[in-house]
Amino acid sequence: MRPFNCSMARAVVLIKLVHNQLVQFMSKIIVFVVILILSKGSFHSCNRKLNNHNIRCVNYSTSGPIVFSDGSMVDFKTFFNVYYYEDLVMYQFPYYFDSTYDGKSILNKQERNNFFVYNRDSTWGYNYNPLNELQNNRRVKVDSMMRQTGLQSSNFDGIAKLQPVFSQFDTNTGILKETYAPSKEEHKAKDTIYFYFTSKLKDVDLSFSKKLDSIKKMKLFKIHLLFNGDYDEERKMTLPKTEVDYEIKEIPFENKEKIAGYFKLYKAHIPNK
């Protein structure tokens, strides 16, 4: 095995750490979704209007394969939306619900949504799930909800200690692209991390790395991980070539009255906010 220099060794270790923690992240998402579909409940609606034009929607998405200990892989994609209105933040987590009886499906698979609303300066928020009595109108700690969804991870903070092997700023798009990778001489697999930064989302608190956001004074909004096949000593297996993508982007959204209604529900629960 060829020796690494210190900085590139940290890069390789970090890349493998991110790969392993991605499996943990996906597991948390799966557990979170299972919790949401355990029971059904009543429906709530809200008629009073807020200024829908002041609501922003930011989409978070992750896609890539999960590699199991037997070497098999399964593609996994997950996403959710985050809405911002004044000092309020709302996470919308989609999930699928179906029901079976005596081994037979009695309800076609349906896409449903769980909503979690909180004030930026509050440690507590409210969970709303109109079709799930156990999850609806429930007061939940913000930190607890973020932990369940894997959103408090700091997997990429370690990159701040390293120097990119390539950096380019596009004056037309305002996007900074940085590449982190060991050289071929140092590591035959040459795993690579691509970071993309923008100034357009600096006011959005959703973050892959608050540390990197602060250092660059820009938002890390997109990450591309390229894992070239290599032998994993810890798991005693050869890892296939895989690619994983993370992205945060602002998007238009529909059902604005419904989204505004959940902000109103929260205001009713916390009138002084």
Is 215 a residue whose pLDDT tops 80?
yes
Q: Please report the pLDDT score of residue 153 as a whole number.
A: 62
Cα(117)–Cα(89) distance, rounded to whole angstroms?
6
Cα(113)–Cα(92) distance, rounded to whole angstroms?
6
Q: Please report the pLDDT score of residue 37 as a whole number.
A: 37
pLDDT tens track for 92-109: 987 766 566 555 655 556
3-state secondary structure the chain: CCCCCHHHHHHHHHHHHHHHHHHHHHHHHHHHHHHHCCCCCCCCCCCCCCCHHHCEEEEEEEEEEEECCCCCEEEEEEEEEEEEECCEEEEEEEEEEEEEECCEEEEEEEEEEEEEEEECCCCEEEEECCCCCCCCCEEEEHHHHHHHCCCCCCCCHHHHHCCCCEEEEECCCCEEEEEECCCCCCCCCCCEEEEEEECCCCCCCCCCCHHHHHHHCCEEEEEEEEECCEEECCCCEEECCEEEEEEEEECCCCCHHHHHHHHHHHHHHCCCC
Cross-strand partners of 227? 242
Q: Please report the pLDDT score of residue 103 as a whole number.
A: 59
pLDDT tens track for 108-144: 567 778 899 999 999 999 988 876 666 677 888 998 8
Amino acid at site 64: G
Tokens of 105: 């499906």
Mean pLDDT of the chain: 76
Worst-scoring range by mean pLDDT, 152-166, 220-234, 251-265?
A: 152-166
Cα(132)–Cα(247) distance, rounded to whole angstroms?
29
Q: What are the boundaries of each domain within the chain?
A: 6-269
pTM of the model: 0.70
How large is the average pLDDT for residues 184-212? 81
Q: Cβ distance 250 to 201 under 8 Å?
A: yes
Worst-scoring range by mean pLDDT, 7-16, 117-126, 135-144, 156-165?
A: 7-16
How large is the average pLDDT for residues 25-52? 43
How large is the average pLDDT for residues 53-78? 85
Is 175 a residue whose pLDDT tops 90?
yes
